[in-house]
Amino acid sequence: MAFRAPLTNHHADGTLCPADHRHTSSGKPLHDDCSGRAYTQAVCSCGWEMKQRGKGCVNECRKRHLAEHAQGPKVLRDLLRLDAP
């Protein structure tokens, strides 16, 4: 199963900020109808989630989390090793 953890931007009131709304790096809106990005959130299909003001931080943690899924659980990797005694 492929896991997904899309990034979403949200306004201060918790509503979703549409993908076509652009912001400065600090979250200030560049779109007339936008109140600005208050936080960015990533929610994985496994249930993991992260919410922070910094979009870059959330994206970096999201990438690390998805990489852990790609590696598989350590216990299973150790059990499936061909050179195990």
Nearest to 56 by CA among 7, 10, 17, 13: 7
Q: Is the pLDDT of residue 21 over 70?
A: yes
Q: Model pTM?
A: 0.74
Phi/psi at 49 (5° precision): -150, 155
Task: Tell me the pLDDT tens digit for each residue of 34-54.
Answer: 888 999 999 999 999 999 998
